[in-house]
Structure 1
Amino acid sequence: MVARINTVAFQGIEVLGIDVQVQMSGGIVAFTVVGLPDKAVGESRERVRASLHALGLALPAKRITVNLAPADVLKEGSHFDLPIALALLTVMGVLPDAEMARYVALGELALDGALTPVAGVLPAAIDALAHDRGLICPAACGGEAAWAGPGLDVLAPANLLALINHFKGSQVLTPPKPRLQEAGPPPLDLRDVKGNETAKRALEVAAAGSHNLLMIGPPGSGKSMLAARLPGLLPPLDPAEALEVSMIHSVGGLLEDGKLLRQRPYRAPHQSASLPALVGGGTRAKPGEISLAHQGVLFLDELPEFPRPLLEALRQPLETGKSVVSRANHHVTYPARVQLIAAMNPCRCGYLDDASLACARAPKCAADYQSKISGPLFDRIDLHIDVPAVSPADLSLPPPAEGSAEVAARVAVARAIQTERFAALTGAGFSRSAGVPVVRTNAEADGELLEKIAAPDAAGRSLLTEAAERMKLSARGYHRVMRVARTLADLDGLDGVRRRHIAEALSYRRIAPGR
């Protein structure tokens, strides 16, 4: 007899159906797992054996073969414990075969039969609902599985015994309820920042249109302080975005207690981060920081201190909104639509504009230091601003009257305008290709959309054309100026882009690093 249980494997956030087949036959007593399992899956036989022993069940003295089909797909992770155990219980006659075929199962077993949390429950639940099946998962993951939809039958037992009793009819498992992360501490307030009004304006523009921003200034000028207050200006995730972001965190095993995210991610990796840690990869091709920051903020402090290959690896995700991890036998794609906020000193010593503090190599050291940022990466940043040192006179002033709440209100209005605009345009056939998020903000608009939404008036187009020639702007730089100008018009509540919007957008753009 052969018993079958449905489970899943993951390639990025894509779900692959896996058929767990268990056969008991005569011959030399053995317990073999085949079907390209990794070490964690191969070790599951010991956890399964111990869990069944804890329930008072002993495996028959037979040859047990577990096949994970299709056999040419690598099986990774400990979530195969539960489906293997259920298939064994089915072939032993403990569980009903017909009933088990209606479910997808995943979970890790402890030696005492308890079910411990695993990664990927949310995308597995969505896939199970799409195939008209139920889901069996650990109790700690039930909250995220419940978000897949009201039509999904979710069983979330705390241990294997409770699941067996449920199918035997001696215990009823209560369906889990969707869970959200609790509200964290209040975000840092922009009112704490004194001086640097130009930088505050640029931060507001960046928040309104989800634009990339580079801040250049001496140590202590407030660059990191400004970046840390950006989350307080951004609107919360809408339901579709929350599900999209939570799926990535679920695959990465980062959803705490199965609670969906409600706030936009803010990731700030250190300069010592590896390439797989930043863009994704490793032995299990997990999402990197740029994917974990999807629909949120990726803050890179001291940008030139990051290794050059690591910075160059950001170019494709920033342009396409996807991070592709290549392997010999497959490619894994993670969403990576992020808002890049970067900060750097103007030179290695940091005091280029202060002759009394600058090193002896100034200004040559500035050109050498800033040239660590390649032209193509620099071109992908919409806003470039100088953040000068704050004077003692500014520090002695009382806190500014306008804080994050007032700025966030204007940002929310501008974002609402963009949402309504792009919803109408995408309905007219301007949706993105499969696998890429639909356009939600001005920073995501391509050239075709920009001609429809950001075409300036005659005076603005003349200024843009002349400036593009003098500044030697690339086609990408030209379009990014239009995106920023469109955001400035949205903040003003205007339908059209005026000359003043083009002028302000151009003021936020440098020619090239080191110049």
Structure 2
Amino acid sequence: MVARLVTWSFDGAEARRVDVQVQITEAGANPYFSIVGLADKAVAESRERVRSAFAAIGLSIPAKRVLVNLAPADLPKEGSHYDAPIAVALLTAMGVLPSDALDGLAVLGELGLDGDWQPIVGALPAAMASHGEGLTLMCPLASAAEAAWSGGRVIAVPSLMAFINHVRGARPLEIAKPGALLETSPMADIKDIRGQEQAKRALEITAAGGHNLLLVGPPGAGKSMLAQRLPGLLPPLSAKELLEVSMIHSVAGMLERGALTRTRPFRAPHHSASMAALTGGGLRAKPGEVSLAHHGVLFLDELPEFSGQALDALRQPLETGEVVVARANRHVTYPARFQLIAAMNPCRCGAPGGRTCGKAPRCMMNYQARISGPFLDRIDLQIDVPGVTAADLSMPASVEGSREAASRVAMARNAQEDRYKDDAMPVATNAVASGAVLDRVATPDGPGRDLLVKAADAMRLSARAYHRTLKVARTIADLDGLDHVKRIHIAEALAYRRVDPGQGSNSEPPAHGAFKLGNL
């Protein structure tokens, strides 16, 4: 007899079905307990945890040939959540549970030595997959509130004995209820920042269109303060986005007590973070910072201090909205549709110019050259943030704060939602629009087109930068409540493209700030 049970493996943020098959046969003088099916070390150690859990409830594994097969055999199995499925299928093969007890069930959980079911990661994706196949998920009590957000039938199991009593009908377990939906916590207000009106405007455009932003300025100019106030301008996560974000955080083990929040993620890794920490991977593949920032903000402070390899690894997710971790035997894909906000000093000394840097302009050129041109080309808005003067600090706080700016951002986002809702390709914001969709929604009027063409030649914009300028102009028009992109929108979008020393092709690069719209 072969006992069968459904459990789940994790491929990125998605769950893939695994069939646990247990067979007990006579083994003569050489009894053994073997697990096959491309299992890692944690799965192989399930033998001892299952053996101890059985002993805790007064059972013993038969002195026979016990073979556990995890199918499909060519799918790598990682993690300790296979303990409970193996134990339950073994109980059925031993006759402790009736042969039809596992029909319609999916099981996952780690076993303690006393038979308790320990919390596991990935309960929400597993529950979503179980619900999709019409199965009831049996998972640890500590993970049930998280899994219940799937909308399917989830039963919280505290221990192996409780599971046996439930299946036998002696003491049925209750259906789990979803955890709390946390209220959005108060966020820092943009009115706390004195001066920096152009940077605040750029931040509002960034929030409205889902664009990437680079802030360049001396220490103390308020770059980090600006970045930290971006989440306060963004709309809360929609129901679909909340589920996607929560599934990633579930796989990463970051959902506490099943509580979810509609606040968009804000991740700020240190500049010493490795490429694997940013993009994901490791011995057991885990989501990286770019995936944990999905539908939220990834803030990279001191941008040139990150390794060049780590920054260039972000180029693919910035374009495609996903990151692929390549392994020798498989590829793992994680969603990574985030907004990049980066901040940097103009040079290593803090600011360019003879007053503060005796090595200018060479110091500035060398420092900024640590960031590759293709990476910078993927940043939609690139602005200089000047130092704050004493006069700025002595001024009263602005009357307008994050609430007013967020209301304009919400109106612009609503306009984009209406604009793209009928498109075949999923487009949520202007920053994602491309190809024929971008041509349809962001073609400027005649004067605007002439300005863009002349500016593209003068600034030596790449095709990518050209289209990103159109996207920013489309967002500015949305903030103005207009259906068409005009010359004034193109002009403002071009003002957010920095002309940096050391950039350019074969000719001598223009001086910083040399390009003026008035010259066109």
Smaller-chain TM-score range?
Answer: over 0.9
Letter of the structure 2 residue corresponding to residue 309 of structure 1: Q
What does the per-residue CA deviation read over 1:102-125, in whole Å, with 9 as the maximum and x for residues that have no partner?
Answer: 111111111111111111111111
What does the per-residue CA deviation read over 1:358-384, in whole Å, with 9 as the maximum and x for residues that have no partner?
Answer: 2x2111100000011111111100000
Asked if residue 407 in structure 1 is aligned to residue 405 in structure 2, the reply is yes
**Match of residue 439 from structure 1:** 427
Letter of the structure 2 residue corresponding to residue 385 of structure 1: I
For residues 316-331 of structure 1, the aligned pairs below 5 Å read: 316-331=316-331
**Match of residue 435 from structure 1:** none
Asked if residue 482 in structure 1 is aligned to residue 470 in structure 2, the reply is yes
Letter of the structure 1 residue corresponding to residue 120 of structure 2: V
**Match of residue 392 from structure 2:** 394
Letter of the structure 1 residue corresponding to residue 316 of structure 2: Q
Contact 2:183–2:261 (CA<8 Å) still a contact in 1? no
**Match of residue 211 from structure 1:** 211
For residues 144-293 of structure 1, the aligned pairs below 5 Å read: 144-149=146-151, 152-183=152-183, 185-293=185-293
Question: Secondary structure, in 3 states, of the residue corresponding to 1:7?
Answer: strand
Letter of the structure 2 residue corresponding to residue 110 of structure 1: G
2:54 and 2:298 map into 1 onto residues whose CA distance is 45
**Match of residue 48 from structure 1:** 50
Moved more, 413-422 or 22-31: 22-31
Question: Secondary structure, in 3 states, of the residue corresponding to 1:249?
Answer: helix
1:510 to 498, 506, 513: 498
1:418 to 403, 416, 419: 416
Question: Secondary structure, in 3 states, of the residue corresponding to 1:325?
Answer: strand
1:460 and 1:143 map into 2 onto residues whose CA distance is 54
TM (normalized to structure 1)? 0.95
2:38 to 32, 36, 39: 36
Runs of 4+ aligned residues of structure 1 deviating over 6 Å after TM superposition are none
Contact 2:184–2:262 (CA<8 Å) still a contact in 1? no
What does the per-residue CA deviation read over 1:148-179, in whole Å, with 9 as the maximum and x for residues that have no partner?
Answer: 22xx2211112222211111112122111122
Aligned residue pairs, count:
501
What does the per-residue CA deviation read over 1:250-289, in whole Å, with 9 as the maximum and x for residues that have no partner?
Answer: 1122222222342111001111111111011111221110
Unaligned runs of 5+ in 2: 503-511, 513-520
Moved more, 175-184 or 450-459: 175-184
Contact 2:210–2:339 (CA<8 Å) still a contact in 1? yes
Question: Secondary structure, in 3 states, of the residue corresponding to 2:421?
Answer: helix
Contact 1:20–1:87 (CA<8 Å) still a contact in 2? yes
Question: Secondary structure, in 3 states, of the residue corresponding to 2:270?
Answer: coil
Question: Secondary structure, in 3 states, of the residue corresponding to 2:488?
Answer: helix
Letter of the structure 1 residue corresponding to residue 410 of structure 2: A
Question: Secondary structure, in 3 states, of the residue corresponding to 2:286?
Answer: coil
**Match of residue 434 from structure 1:** none
Change (3 A) 1:513 1:278: farther
**Match of residue 26 from structure 1:** 26
1:103 and 1:23 map into 2 onto residues whose CA distance is 19
Contact 2:39–2:76 (CA<8 Å) still a contact in 1? yes
Letter of the structure 2 residue corresponding to residue 478 of structure 1: Y
Letter of the structure 2 residue corresponding to residue 298 of structure 1: L
**Match of residue 105 from structure 1:** 107
Question: Secondary structure, in 3 states, of the residue corresponding to 2:148?
Answer: helix
1:468 and 1:69 map into 2 onto residues whose CA distance is 56
2:485 and 2:178 map into 1 onto residues whose CA distance is 43
2:150 and 2:21 map into 1 onto residues whose CA distance is 27
Contact 1:107–1:117 (CA<8 Å) still a contact in 2? yes
2:64 to 41, 62, 65: 62
Letter of the structure 1 residue corresponding to residue 221 of structure 2: S
Change (3 A) 1:443 1:180: farther
Question: Secondary structure, in 3 states, of the residue corresponding to 1:333?
Answer: strand
2:180 and 2:260 map into 1 onto residues whose CA distance is 5
Question: Secondary structure, in 3 states, of the residue corresponding to 1:310?
Answer: helix
1:462 and 1:98 map into 2 onto residues whose CA distance is 74
User: What is the Cα deviation at residue 512 of structure 1?
Assistant: 4.6
Moved more, 90-99 or 38-47: 90-99
1:479 and 1:320 map into 2 onto residues whose CA distance is 15
2:182 and 2:455 map into 1 onto residues whose CA distance is 48
Contact 2:22–2:90 (CA<8 Å) still a contact in 1? yes
Question: Secondary structure, in 3 states, of the residue corresponding to 1:225?
Answer: helix
2:118 to 105, 111, 116: 116
1:450 and 1:315 map into 2 onto residues whose CA distance is 21
User: What is the Cα deviation at residue 184 of structure 1?
Assistant: 5.3
Contact 1:374–1:513 (CA<8 Å) still a contact in 2? no
User: What is the Cα deviation at residue 215 of structure 1?
Assistant: 0.2
Cα RMSD for the two superposed structures:
1.3
**Match of residue 460 from structure 1:** 448
1:92 and 1:513 map into 2 onto residues whose CA distance is 74
Contact 2:442–2:473 (CA<8 Å) still a contact in 1? yes
Question: Secondary structure, in 3 states, of the residue corresponding to 1:65?
Answer: strand
Letter of the structure 2 residue corresponding to residue 488 of structure 1: I
1:184 and 1:46 map into 2 onto residues whose CA distance is 44
1:388 and 1:133 map into 2 onto residues whose CA distance is 59
2:231 and 2:99 map into 1 onto residues whose CA distance is 50
Moved more, 30-39 or 303-312: 30-39
1:257 and 1:501 map into 2 onto residues whose CA distance is 47
Contact 1:243–1:260 (CA<8 Å) still a contact in 2? no
2:233 and 2:161 map into 1 onto residues whose CA distance is 48
Unaligned runs of 5+ in 1: 432-437
Contact 1:457–1:497 (CA<8 Å) still a contact in 2? yes
What does the per-residue CA deviation read over 1:18-50, in whole Å, with 9 as the maximum and x for residues that have no partner?
Answer: 111111122222222111111110111111111
**Match of residue 78 from structure 2:** 76
User: What is the Cα deviation at residue 248 of structure 1?
Assistant: 1.1
Contact 1:447–1:479 (CA<8 Å) still a contact in 2? no
TM (normalized to structure 2)? 0.94
What does the per-residue CA deviation read over 1:392-441, in whole Å, with 9 as the maximum and x for residues that have no partner?
Answer: 111112211111111111111111111111113x2xxx31xxxxxx2100
Asked if residue 501 in structure 1 is aligned to residue 478 in structure 2, the reply is no
